[in-house]
């Protein structure tokens, strides 16, 4: 196990709703990144949080937002859900913002209907 935990494991939402996904990073890690993985695809980088600040962002619209807390846990919020938002959402923590070894959680499977 990586020590990165995500909740919930599965979630079903209706189009137009809002969702919050949670991630607890591995002990000693101050950086959290979020990825979206569509079925049969590789994960796509959404954004990264380092010491409670957004530190980098991929090609995702502003309705994808996040937070990092003083204990380095993190939330991913998605507003105005669309059917294409259905995916596995992965959280990865790392010891610092530039390292290569990131530890992934098991993900949250979001289904938008």
Query: With binding defined as CB under 8 A, does residue 111 bind another protein?
Result: no
Please, which residue, 14 or 98, has the CB nearer to another protein? 98
Please, which residue, 18 or 111, has the CB nearer to another protein? 111
Q: Give which of 113, 110, 112 is closest to 10, Cα–Cα.
A: 110
Q: Please check whether residue 110 is in contact with residue 6, taking contact to mean a CB–CB distance below 8 angstroms.
A: no
The DSSP call for residue 83 is: G
Query: With binding defined as CB under 8 A, does residue 5 bind another protein?
Result: no
Whole-number Å distance between alpha carbons of 14 and 29: 34
Q: What residues make contact with another protein under the rule CB under 8 A?
A: 2, 4, 31, 33, 35, 40-45, 48, 50, 55-56, 58, 90, 92, 94, 97-107
């Amino acid at each position: 196990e990586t020590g990165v935990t995500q909740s919930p494991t599965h979630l079903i939402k209706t189009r137009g709703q809002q969702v919050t996904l949670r991630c607890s990073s591995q002990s000693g890690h101050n950086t959290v990144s979020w990825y979206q993985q569509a079925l049969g695809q590789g994960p796509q980088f959404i954004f990264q949080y380092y010491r409670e600040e957004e530190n980098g962002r991929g090609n995702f619209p502003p309705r994808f937002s996040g937070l990092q807390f003083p204990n380095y846990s993190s939330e991913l919020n998605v507003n105005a859900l669309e059917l294409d938002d259905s995916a596995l959402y992965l959280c990865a923590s790392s010891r610092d913002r530039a390292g290569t070894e990131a530890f992934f959680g098991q993900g949250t499977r979001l289904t938008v209907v």
